[in-house]
Amino acid sequence: MTRLHRRAASALALGTLAASAGAPTAWAQALSVQRSGQPLAQTPTHLAPASAPDTTLQHKPQAGSLTAGETPGALRSVAGPQTLLRAAEVPPARLERTRVLLVELQARPQPDQAVAIDLPADVLFDFDRADLRADAASSLAKAAELVEGYPQAPLMVVGHTDGKGSDAYNDALSLRRAQAVAEALRVRTGRQARTQGQGKRQPVAPNAQPDGSDDPEGRQRNRRVQILIEPLARGG
């Protein structure tokens, strides 16, 4: 049987099957093989993209970073309700300048969330004196500007001395120095600060070497006036 005869037999069989099932003869004709005279290589190929789920990238907030939707300056940490240096209290217009001052003045947080800065006494006062030197104005101006960044916070100024001299003498000297700095802040900011003299009771460095000899660098670090920008909870 030739190829043409086989093709005709196949078409006839399909037509008979369709007729026995009650389908129209046209349906059987639609099933007949139609060959194209065009080579396969010239037949256009249509590619449709496969559908896939959209991929989106989301930013993961880091500790201490600004979160979208928060008020400018409302810096918060993943680890706690407030940032280390209470930036949420700073007015937005003062935030950038306050951040600069915190770095310049080497501010550090206290366990009670107070913000502390230490002003070296040797920059502020002459030896054994409690009246401010003229060249202390620059340090005091920066401290006052930082204080203004926390407009509602209560303030405390604490004087400290080195280990030389008696407790009575050092307590009195450290208190007078604290009062002088507090007054300078009041003049610049209009804010009143509480004062305290700790004398030599809270050193931040050794006053003497391990062999008992004098440690002048340690004593210099201990001579300081500390400004504490206290938590709002203390304001009442």
In the chain the domains, ranked by start, together with CATH numbers, are 94-235 (3.30.1330.60)
Mean pLDDT is lowest, of 16-25, 109-118, 217-226, for 16-25
The whole-angstrom separation of Cα 67 and Cα 93 is 18
Given a cut of 90, is residue 1 above it in pLDDT?
no
pLDDT score of 192 more than 50: yes
pLDDT in tens, 9-38: 554 444 444 444 444 444 445 455 555 565
Q: Whole-prediction pTM value? A: 0.65
> What ranges make up the beta strands (E) of the chain?
108-109, 115-120, 155-160, 194-197, 224-229
The residue among 120, 181, 184, 107 whose CA lies nearest residue 150 is 107
| Of the listed ranges 84-88, 123-127, 134-138, 221-225, the one predicted with least confidence | 84-88
At residue 80, the pLDDT reads: 37
What value does the mean pLDDT of the chain take? 78
CA–CA gap between residue 132 and residue 115 (Å, rounded): 23
Q: How far is CA 139 from the centre of its chain?
A: 27
pLDDT band at residue 233 under the 50/70/90 scheme = confident
- Asked if 223 and 160 count as a contact pair (C-beta separation under 8 A), the reply is yes
What is d(CA 145, CA 104) in angstroms, rounded to the nearest whole number?
12
Looking only at the bridges linking them, the beta strands covering 194-197 and 155-160 are parallel
